Amino acid sequence: MTESHTPKPLSVRDTPIPGFKVIDLPVHGDKRGWFKENWQREKMLELGLPDFGPVQNNISFNASPGVTRGIHAEPWDKYISVATGRVFGAWVDLRAGESFGATYWCEIDPSVAVYVPRGVGNAFQALEENTVYTYLVNDHWSAEAQREYTFLNLADETVAIPWPLGLDSGELSPRDLSHPRLESVTPMKQRKILVIGANGQLGRALRDKWTEREDVEFVGRDAVDLAHPEHLERVDWSTYSTIVNAAAYTAVDAAETPDGRAQAWTVNAAGPSRLARIAADHNLTLIHISTDYVFDGTQAIHTEDESFTPLGVYGQSKAAGDYAVSTIKKHYILRTSWVVGEGKNFVKTMSSLAERGIDPAVVDDQYGRLSFASEVARAIEHVLTVGAKYGVYNVSNSGDILSWWELAKRIFAYTGHDPHRVRPVTTESYHLGEAQVALRPTNSVLDLQKIQKTGFRPLDQMEMLKEYLHS
């Protein structure tokens, strides 16, 4: 490029290989030579490239036309470009899944780059002398990582790559010539989602939702207890892409005791802080579950950007965990209220009292909406599937704002009992004479507009309540 010209605009194109993208780069040239922004994070993220976090830059010099390398699928993402010369690049999806065997090829010169996801086989053939091929990767090479490589023979008849200079006369390594045909390739396994706290209400809902998925692993406190940092140290984080932290210390009143306070801060604050560091170090997405208890309940409705005003130890420890998680790039904090799932909860308690002929007194000065655990699980899957912008999202069911008393009356009615058996009482009266009672937020209503803008439609709480009670 020795003459002035108008460079093409920066753009990103999709291909038949999921996640594999071609980038057209503006190259500014004149009689002196040329200049380009080879990797410009802000602009490229805006056009849809993932924020893959490169940590190593590799360069391959190819002395003569016909030098051919590949096909190698590696356990990291790559951003490939050419500094000088031209190459014919070819890529084959070698990941386990429906797209296994999908192919794409194109010529790369200084005005073209490609983004290659983990597990996509990569190969190229130099088309000019002294071609310099360069690539960024988001993990450091190691002998251990190399054991995860998957290979395909350059001459495989099924993918039938049309090498411009052929393979007979070019420079190839004996190892590349010995790689297996597609039918004998062991696909690279997808990185998994790790669900921590898998035996709680949300964990069980995620088990039900993801029961058929092979790329999800569930662990309870026996395997990963956030109160024991050594549990986290023995996990091989290189096998995961996402952590879902469904674990928490939720004994709100017990958290006001000396022992409970220590446990709450260990699990709800220190635990998420350690997970955040792990996620940052391994470029993982961290999904963390928050609570309405980070607020004092004085606002009419709680938005995602409201300042924390927790009233008790439980809310304070959860707020600290939220702060820790929010410091990393790839995070989702899903804030919930009044969670109902499998296990002990308010709905089951009221239903049991109704059946046993007990007429309860229920507080009528705390307001909110239910968050069924299955609905929170659906929201988790949604933000991951649509690639929602990282950050905080309120998640609850939709519907009328009710007090606990009004909700209890509906539970009685939906189970065929007289709702007038439920007596209203103030929070102060309800807890009169009790020791170590935590203060509760008066209003727990969450603004749902932000997650709705991503395409998520929360289901009505009363419809789900009826279904829950009769399941």
DSSP secondary structure of 319-386? HHHHHHHHTSSSEEEEEE-SEE-SSS-HHHHHHHHHHTT---EEESS-EE--EEHHHHHHHHHHHHHH
CA dist., res. 212 & res. 214, Å (int):
6
Q: What is the four-CA torsion angle of 81, 188, 214, 22, rounded to 10 degrees?
A: 20
CATH 2.60.120.10 range(s) for the chain read 11-184
Is 240 one of the catalytic residues? no
Domain spanning 192-469: which superfamily?
NAD(P)-binding Rossmann-like Domain (3.40.50.720)
Is 135 one of the catalytic residues? yes
Share of the chain above pLDDT 90, in %: 85
Taking residue 311's Cβ as centre, other Cβ atoms within 10 Å add up to 17
Spell out the alpha helix ranges (H) of 110-216. 143-146, 174-177, 201-209
| Residue 283 CA: distances (Å) to CA of 134, 148, 211 | 22, 18, 26
- The predicted-structure confidence for 117-152, as pLDDT tens digits, reads as follows 999 999 999 999 999 999 999 988 877 777 888 999
Point out the residues of the chain with pLDDT beneath 50. Answer: 1-4
Reported as type and span, the H/E element at residue 60 is strand 56-62
Judge whether 300 and 346 are in contact, CB under 8 Å. Answer: no
DSSP collapsed to 3 states, 241-310: EEEEECCCCCCCCHHHCHHHHHHHHHHHHHHHHHHHHHHHHHCCEEEEEEEHHHCCCCCCCECCCCCCCC
Give Cα 442 distance to the centre of its chain. 32
Domain spanning 11-184: which superfamily?
Jelly Rolls (2.60.120.10)
CATH 3.40.50.720 range(s) for the chain read 192-469
Predicted pLDDT of residue 436? 75
Predicted pLDDT of residue 11? 96
Q: Which of 301, 452, 434 is nearest to 363 (CA)?
A: 434
Residue from 135, 249, 332, 393 carrying the catalytic annotation = 135
CA dist., res. 368 & res. 403, Å (int):
6
Residue 72, phi then psi, degrees to nearest 5 = -120, 125
Q: What share of the chain is helix, strand, coil (3-state, %, to 5)?
A: 30, 25, 45
Residue from 72, 231, 288, 331 carrying the catalytic annotation = 72
Predicted pLDDT of residue 3? 47
**Helix pair 461-469, 346-355: axis angle to 10 deg:** 50
Q: Which of 185, 127, 131, 187 is nearest to 154 (CA)?
A: 185
Bridge-partner residues for 415, per DSSP? Answer: none
Two structure tokens written together for 113: 């780059």
Reported as type and span, the H/E element at residue 41 is helix 41-46
Judge whether 193 and 216 are in contact, CB under 8 Å. Answer: yes
Predicted pLDDT of residue 5? 62
- The predicted-structure confidence for 234-250, as pLDDT tens digits, reads as follows 999 988 999 999 999 99
- Strands 423-425 and 240-245, bridge-based pairing: unpaired
CA dist., res. 179 & res. 70, Å (int):
9
Evaluated on CA atoms 157, 159, 160, 164, the torsion sign reads negative
